[in-house]
Structure 1
């Protein structure tokens, strides 16, 4: 994977997209379906040729790119997005230090990939299987990500499965971010450049 501003922007937009969709699902019980397909497919794409190939096309990351440009601010919603992103990146760092968990995650994702022969991506069983990978492998590494939303929506099993499957996708993008050279300093000092890159990508859609 190349370590360019473009690659880092794409990987970070992947994290932002997963987080923006978690927000939508937790509040409304549903989210942008095409963006959901992109985010979940990213988990199952085991041998991408490039950073963008993890997600498909640039336009498939529209929700994430828009979140990167407009969604990270000091409003309550923006602060929530920031909290989720920081939590996912902290979890990924812990995961990266645990060879046992990384190996288990790889095995479980290969199993998910094989299950695609039997289930459609958005089939409840498939989403539930992805959620259980997050619950079994990522969650125990801690700390737990507290998801805010509408209580009656968050109580629904289908919502819980979607949220966990999306958090797994967020971890996938956080792994990708590290693979393309993304570091904490890029978030602190290089975010303006990523926002500019995201604006260019959105403008050409």
Structure 2
């Protein structure tokens, strides 16, 4: 988005941005699980967001625009659940897990500490290096996967049984939790999702329009 558009972002815009981040993660998870592929730039943007813990402004969490995330959010707000897609279920699962995480401060501290340790690895190898992705996947398994509720990823076993793809999926789910945290920090909650549907849709459409006006900054 242009700098002018960024200055005009409101609280509802920030909530929408965070939701786009959650949808982006869910969309990439589904692509990996069903096609064995992902968008490399989206993957990097989402994983980078894990290491931006104290941004000056919410939009600083994402280094690039979240075009497919906004598109998925708009489709959901306009049409509801898509037949044959698990994206929406992953989104709701991420929101639920993040709520559970907030009520577990020890786990929250563990995640923060291990992300700080992983930062050196990111700076040395790059955010999408296999070693770092494996580390982030282990972090997800050791923490969020220990809740009774778990996100069940559906797809082709040919892909799901590959350790590399399984690690990428878990790393994306962890990044989805980061976006869900931003959503909560911006005042987002279940009722907000239901009662502010029109405002969220209008904001998503406006932000997507700005992204498409600046294609060099889109996914």
Residue deviations 1:140-171 (CA, integer Å, cap 9, x gap): 12311100111111111111001000000011
Q: Is the 8 A contact 1:95 1:141 kept in 2?
A: no
2:68 to 58, 63, 72: 63
Report SS of the residue matched to 2:143: helix
User: What is the TM-score with the length of structure 2 in the denominator?
Assistant: 0.87
- 2:170 is matched with which residue? 164
Report the TM-score when normalising by structure 1.
0.93
Q: Gapped runs of 5+ residues in structure 1?
A: none
In structure 1, the partner of 2:137 is 131
Secondary structure of residue in 1 paired with 2:50: helix
Deviations 1:11-36 (A, max 9, x none): 11111110011011111111111111
Q: For the Cα contact (< 8 Å) 2:70–2:208, is it kept in 1?
A: yes
Distance change >3 Å, CA 156–CA 165, structure 1 → 2:
same
Structure 1, residues 28-59: CA drift from partner, whole Å, max 9, x if none?
111111111111110111221111100024xx
1:103 aligns with 2:109: yes
- 1:48 paired residue among 25, 34, 55: 55
- Distance 1:21-1:95 versus aligned 2 partners, 3 A rule: same
CA distance in 1, matches of 2:193, 2:163: 34
- Secondary structure of 1:174's aligned partner: helix
Name the Cα RMSD after superposition.
1.5
Following superposition, the deviation at residue 116 of structure 1 comes to 1.6
In 1: Cα distance, 2:199 partner to 2:193 partner: 10
Q: List 4+ stretches of structure 1 deviating above 4 A.
A: none
| Distance in 2 separating the partners of 1:101 and 1:115 | 21
Gaps of at least 5 residues in structure 2 are 1-8, 212-219
Q: In the comparison of the two structures, how many residue pairs are matched?
A: 201
Q: Counterparts of 2:58 and 2:208 in 1: how far apart (Å)?
A: 17
Moved more, 39-48 or 163-172: 39-48
Q: Give 1:200's match in structure 2, choosing from 187, 190, 206.
A: 206
> What is the CA deviation profile of residues 47-75 of structure 1, one whole-angstrom value per residue up to 9, with x for unaligned ones?
21111100024xx2111111101256333
Structure 1 position 3, deviation (Å): 7.1
Q: Does 1:88 align with 2:85?
A: no
